Structures are given as C-alpha cells and as structure tokens.
Structure 1
Amino acid sequence: MKANITLKLDRDLLRKAKILAAEKDTSVSALVTEQLEKAVRDREGYEQAKKRALARLERGYNLGYKPPSSRDEFYER
C-alpha cells in the first residue's frame, strides 16, 4: 500500500531534482522512492552483516594455540 508524504525542499534543489527526473524520464517522486529504498536496503544489509560478524566473534576462532605443558617448555628457546 502506498501513502503520500509532503516534503519541504529548497526551490533550487527542487528545480535540479526536476531536471534530473526529466533526464532519467521519471518523476521526482520516483527518484525519492528509489533513494529511500536504497537507503533502507543498505541499512538492512549492514544490520545483517553486523549480526553475522558478532555471531562469528561469539563462536570464536580456532587459531591452533596449544598452551605449553610446563613453565620450562614456555621459556624454552
């Protein structure tokens, strides 16, 4: 379901937006919609990547570390 919104834009910005829309053979409304959809997708992608990264950190990584069995072994050169 689509809903209407009202925006207050600087006249010069609106003029440039209309020119851009005409060059792309679309409307200012479609340009705004496209940019908002992109911003939302980017945000959702960031949140998903953040969750995956935090889950990996929570699981940890096996770096193959084996603690020395004795103090002498630790200081052995």
Structure 2
Amino acid sequence: MERQNITLSLPKVLLKKVRAVAAQEEKSVSEFLRESLENKIRQTNGFRKAKSRQIKFLQQGFNLGTRGHICITRGKLHDR
C-alpha cells in the first residue's frame, strides 16, 4: 500500500499519552495511529452496513400471519 506523510497537530499532553501507549505495545507512534484509524474506519463501515441491512429488513415488513386483516377490535384486545 502506498503511503503519504502528513503533518498532524496534537496537544502535547495527548501526544505524550500516545507515545506511552505505543511504547507499551512496542509500536511506533505512526503505526499506533495508523492501526487506530484503520480500526475506527472498519467500525464505521461495519455500522453502516449493519444499519443498511436492518433498514432493508424493516422495509420488507413482517409476516404476522394476519394476511392484512385484523380480526380483533381494539376494545376486545384491551377488554377490562
């Protein structure tokens, strides 16, 4: 995969924490950030796919076995 360098501005406190976590995982800051961004994109794409799948499912509707006819009145259903 072709790579391109970028300039990134981070608060010093955050950069210090990122360096510490990357060092704990024995990774460079670049590698740590790259993997973090890839994971975030994967999660976002997964969410979009799941949302799209569920919307299609809802649009198809559900077979409730009534064939479009409601056989009971609201009053009988909630008879008190």
* TM norm structure 2: 0.77
In structure 2, the residue matched to 1:4 is 5
Q: Aligned partners of 1:21 and 1:53: how far apart in 2?
A: 37
Report how far residue 50 of structure 1 moved. Answer: 1.1
How many Å apart are 1:2 and its aligned residue?
1.1
In the alignment, the residues of structure 1 paired with residue 57 and residue 65 of structure 2 have an alpha-carbon distance, to the nearest angstrom, of 17
**TM-score, length-normalised on structure 1?**
0.80
Q: How does 1:20-59 map to 2 (within 5 A)?
A: 20-59=21-60
Q: Which runs of 5+ in 2 are unaligned?
A: none
Measured in 1, the distance between the counterparts of 2:31 and 2:59 equals 42
Consecutive aligned runs of 4 or more in structure 1 exceeding 6 Å deviation: none
Give, as a single letter, the amino acid of the residue that structure 1 aligns with 2:53.
Answer: R
Which residue of 2 is the match for residue 19 of structure 1?
20
**AA paired with 1:58?**
Q
Task: Report the structure number with the largest CA radius of gyration.
Answer: 1
